[in-house]
Amino acid sequence: MHQEVTLIATVAVSFVCAAIFGYIADRLRLPPLVGYLVAGIALGPVTPGFIADSSLASQLAEMGVILLMFGVGLHFSTADLLAVRGIAIPGAIAQIVIATLFGIGLAEWWGWGLGAGIVFGLSLSVASTVVLLKALEEHNLLDQASGRVAVGWLIVEDLVMVLALVLLPALAEFLGGHAAESAAHGAGLPLWLSIVLTLLKVGAFAMMAIFLGPKVVPWLLTLVARTGSRELFTLTVLAIALGIAFGSAQIFGVSFALGAFFAGVIMSESHLSHRAAADSLPLQNAFSVLFFVSVGMLFDPSILVREPLAVAAAIALIVVGKSIISFAVVVLLRYPIGMGLTVAGGLAQIGEFSFILAALGVSLGLLPADGQAIILAAAIISIILNPLICVGAEALHGHVHHRWAALCARFGHRKYEVLSRELERTRAINEAREREHQLEMQELIETFPLFAKVDEDSQEELLLLFRPKSALPGQRVIRKGDRGDGMYFLSFGTVEVQLAEEDIKLEPGSFFGEMALLSGGRRTADVVATDFCQFLVLERRDFNMFTAKHPALRQAVTEMARARTARNVMRQNDREPSRVDS
């Protein structure tokens, strides 16, 4: 095959195989990512048939990592994490530490080094976001207290893994591997100094992102959103994500993954974060699929024959060990047994971060290739088993509740009530923000029914295009003879349109200034505020751009302008008062 079409062939065949195997996995009631991994195995060098270009696939996988981490940061909620901090933070940290120690023990048993054991243990300690959310959705637990705790637990795990991705390259030589290329300039430095320098770089980047990002990124998103170009907005979102990821790696020496995560966190502070998430989701999904396919290409199925006991031990640690640790932590913290079973069942699998850590461990010379194969095998099998584990946990909860109803009702009741109140408060704050936005949209439509002619997305865009303006009593809003600079929508107060024959009063819900925009001529009357007034101004460029995309709205404005002109003529002839516009 010609070199110039290798990329196209790799992407095309990956998508086709991922779609086929993903559909089969879904029909078998398995997460689609199992199908994506199987597609990668089918395209890998260990199976017959077409073999994808692994070097290209690895670069596409890197892009997938960046967008995965960007998505994690974009959906990161400090409020949700703080609501369940009493159980999620100690629980996740305890599980990671204990599972990592077990991983180190297994690595020592197999003759691996300390570095391999740490990477192996960390890889087995973190669950998959995709799998957990799917499991919670299927059992209607996502909005329940147990589901919120599981999600918060997973957020803490993700944050710890982000820290691990930062520190592993700095510790690689000490743990028996070799330094990453980005850290080569620091070779020869004492370990403590290397770690301090790494943390200082990360801290400098984090401080810059936290203090400068929320000022620049939301402003930039709003500026681009006001253009009305959906593709330009999507391009800007991706440019910010990839730009921050690449820039952070080049300037501060941190990983692409950490830069992308902070890009998502920064963007989540913008009021346009939901739109950014929705617009970037298709590309995130596409490259995430390529990421899982590329991971599957690295999997050697012969590991199941060569090291069956090692694979079985890894699966036992994930399914049994992590479940027991999670359940024990929840119960020891005096939370309900049902919550412990839900968390234990949902987290009894591994996924995205496990693959990222394993690949990093191999690249640093810490983890042997067999270790990565064992992690991949354990991940695939644990994901396949997870739906059964969740059903079993639910059945066990029902059995325990039936047999020891009184004990279950009392145990953890007080802490559960405190947690429920905290979650309800957080939910109320989020709902209040959502209602505030909905009320803003509703008030806009109620005040100006004209905007009911455009769809909800366009109404969102219109809110961005409006420029607020106010006027004090007696202040001239529009001067006769000036060129039309915009169309004014009166949301509060009253104004007078001053004509030669009489003054016409306009009240909230009225709009004026559109005739000069439609005709391209000059203002035909003065408009003066008679009260404290608030306006929403649609400037000439924005008016032309928006109405060009919504011809029905422009037609309605034109017809109303004609009707007003006709009434003005009739009033001038008959001297009858009526509403006019400048």
Answer yes or no: is 420 within a domain: no
Contacts of 368 (CB under 8 A, 6+ apart): 112, 116, 362
User: What CATH number does the domain containing 565 carry?
Assistant: 2.60.120.10
Does the structure show a pLDDT above 50 at 299?
yes
pLDDT confidence bin for 235, thresholds 50/70/90: confident
* pLDDT at position 314: 93
What is the mean predicted confidence (pLDDT) over 540-550? 76
Q: Is the pTM of this model over 0.75?
A: no
* pLDDT at position 96: 92
pLDDT confidence bin for 100, thresholds 50/70/90: very high
Parent domain of 170: 3-411
Count: domains in the chain:
2
Answer yes or no: is 317 within a domain: yes
Does the structure show a pLDDT above 60 at 184?
no
> Among candidates 168, 159, 176, which has minimal Cα distance to 194?
168
Q: Residues 52, 186: one domain?
A: yes
Query: pLDDT by residue (tens digit) across 104-135?
Result: 999 999 988 888 999 999 999 988 877 787 77
Query: pLDDT by residue (tens digit) across 7-52?
Result: 777 788 888 988 999 999 888 877 787 888 888 888 877 776 666 6
Answer yes or no: is 529 within a domain: yes
Q: Residues 353, 458: one domain?
A: no
Q: Among the three residues 411, 442, 470, which one is the final residue of a domain in this structure?
A: 411
Q: Among the three residues 411, 440, 467, which one is the final residue of a domain in this structure?
A: 411
Q: Among the three residues 355, 381, 411, which one is the final residue of a domain in this structure?
A: 411
Q: Residues 486, 352: one domain?
A: no
Q: How far apart are CA 148 and CA 306, in angstroms?
A: 40
Q: How far apart are CA 85 and CA 256, in angstroms?
A: 28
* pLDDT at position 123: 92
Q: Residues 402, 457: one domain?
A: no
Q: Residues 239, 126: one domain?
A: yes
Does the structure show a pLDDT above 50 at 578?
no
Q: Residues 495, 351: one domain?
A: no
Percent of the chain with pLDDT over 70: 79
Q: Residues 465, 522: one domain?
A: yes
Query: pLDDT by residue (tens digit) across 396-455?
Result: 877 777 777 666 666 667 777 777 777 777 777 666 666 555 546 666 676 667 677 676
> Among candidates 246, 386, 346, 359, which has minimal Cα distance to 292?
359
Q: What is the 3-state secondary structure (H, E, C) of 271-306?
A: CCHHHHHHHHHHHHHHHHHHHHHHHHHHCCCCHHHH
* pLDDT at position 9: 79
Q: Residues 402, 474: one domain?
A: no
> Which residue spans within 71-169 are E strands per DSSP?
none
Give the H or E element holding residue 528. strand 526-529
Answer yes or no: is 434 within a domain: no
User: What CATH number does the domain containing 374 carry?
Assistant: 1.20.1530.20
Q: Residues 227, 137: one domain?
A: yes
* pLDDT at position 52: 66
CA dihedral 118, 122, 124, 129 (to 10 degrees): -170
Q: How far apart are CA 323 and CA 167, in angstroms?
A: 27
Answer yes or no: is 183 within a domain: yes
Does the structure show a pLDDT above 90 at 194?
no
Does the structure show a pLDDT above 80 at 213?
no
Does the structure show a pLDDT above 60 at 363?
yes
When mean pLDDT is compared across 75-79, 351-355, 493-497, the lowest value belongs to: 75-79
Q: How far apart are CA 469 and CA 528, in angstroms?
A: 14
Q: Which amino acid is at 24?
A: I
Answer yes or no: is 44 within a domain: yes
Residues paired with 471 in a beta bridge: 533
Q: Residues 313, 405: one domain?
A: yes
Give the H or E element holding residue 467. strand 467-471
Q: Residues 482, 366: one domain?
A: no
Query: pLDDT by residue (tens digit) across 258-288?
Result: 777 778 877 776 666 666 777 777 777 777 7
Q: Residues 471, 360: one domain?
A: no
Higher pLDDT, residue 229 or 70: 70
* pLDDT at position 581: 46
Burial class (CB in 10 A: 0-12, 13-18, 19+), 367: buried
Answer yes or no: is 520 within a domain: yes
Burial class (CB in 10 A: 0-12, 13-18, 19+), 560: middle
Answer yes or no: is 340 within a domain: yes
What is the mean predicted confidence (pLDDT) over 175-180? 70
What is the mean predicted confidence (pLDDT) over 190-198? 66
